[in-house]
């Protein structure tokens, strides 16, 4: 898009470095989340806040009406936006509840979770929700979640052998994800000779074509 003169908005900003589920969703699919925030969450939260103020509700009742309900409804719609299936609905419900619990924790002025613990809890919550999102059905999602505890690990060597290249790509992703920032790339391009930049672009195209598998018509973010 940039080569054609089209400037696209940034859609992901290092989401796997987030230390809270709300921060992760401020970094993940940012264009969709801005749309949902502008047209669903903010208007609904504003309306419910006005209702709570007119009724002079208590602190936690106001929290439920003005924050928890709009958050859960917004992520429920987010799930339906991705597909009309129970697995997408469960994905939205898990995310909405997780964000509500985080906001309630802060509102109650509970102790701050250490950085590494906050990151692990965020990743665990997100991976459980995305399991339902990615699985074709609720039964399949449950099977995937239970597999590490009740599945067979006998064929781990064969599995590693068959999937060595994808595992390598995941390792490289984890290694460089923290540096995955468009601003860093722009600075690097400005400070690098043009012929080296074009060589890097061509190499990137070659690698992308080489590792691409399956039908090109698959859904891509």
**Region for 32 from its dihedrals, namely left if φ exceeds 0, alpha if ψ lies in -120 to 50, beta otherwise:** alpha
Q: How far apart are CA 135 and CA 17, in angstroms?
A: 24
Question: Would you say 131 and 144 are in contact if contact means Cβ atoms under 8 Å apart?
Answer: yes
* pLDDT score for 162: 87
Pair 72, 89: CB distance under 8 Å? no
User: Taking residues 52-78, what's their average pLDDT?
Assistant: 94
What pLDDT score does 213 carry? 66
Q: Is 12 left (phi over 0), alpha (psi -120 to 50) or beta?
A: beta
How confident is the model over 103-108, as a mean pLDDT? 95
Residue from 29, 82, 177, 182 carrying the catalytic annotation: 82
Residue 37 gets which letter from DSSP?
Answer: I
What is the per-residue pLDDT for 184? 83
Residue 189 has pLDDT above 80, yes or no: yes
Q: Is 182 among the residues known to form the active site?
A: no
- Return the sign of the alpha-carbon dihedral for residues 208, 195, 14, 183: negative
CB-based burial, 103-120: b 16+ in 10 Å, e otherwise = beeeeeeeeebeeeebbe
Q: So what's the pLDDT on residue 183?
A: 81
194-207 average pLDDT score: 90
């Amino acid at each position: 898009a940039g080569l054609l003169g089209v400037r696209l908005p940034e859609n992901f900003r290092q989401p796997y470095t987030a230390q809270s589920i709300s921060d992760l969703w401020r970094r993940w699919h940012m264009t969709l989340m801005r749309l949902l925030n502008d047209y669903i969450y903010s208007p609904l939260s504003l309306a419910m806040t006005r209702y709570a103020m007119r009724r002079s509700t208590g602190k936690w009742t106001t929290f439920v009406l003005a924050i928890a309900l709009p958050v859960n409804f917004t992520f429920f719609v987010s799930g339906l936006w991705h597909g009309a299936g129970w697995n997408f609905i469960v994905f939205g419900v898990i995310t909405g509840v997780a964000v509500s619990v985080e906001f309630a924790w802060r509102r109650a002025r509970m102790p701050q979770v250490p950085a590494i613990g906050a990151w692990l809890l965020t990743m665990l919550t997100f991976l459980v929700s995305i399991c339902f999102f990615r699985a074709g059905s609720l039964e399949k999602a449950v099977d995937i979640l239970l597999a590490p505890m009740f599945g067979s690990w006998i064929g781990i060597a064969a599995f590693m052998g068959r999937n060595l290249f994808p595992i390598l790509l995941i390792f490289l992703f984890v290694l460089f994800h923290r540096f995955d920032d468009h601003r860093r790339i722009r600075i690097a391009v400005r400070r690098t000779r043009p012929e080296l930049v074009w060589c890097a672009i061509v190499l990137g195209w070659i690698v992308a074509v080489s590792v691409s598998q399956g039908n090109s018509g698959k859904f891509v973010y």
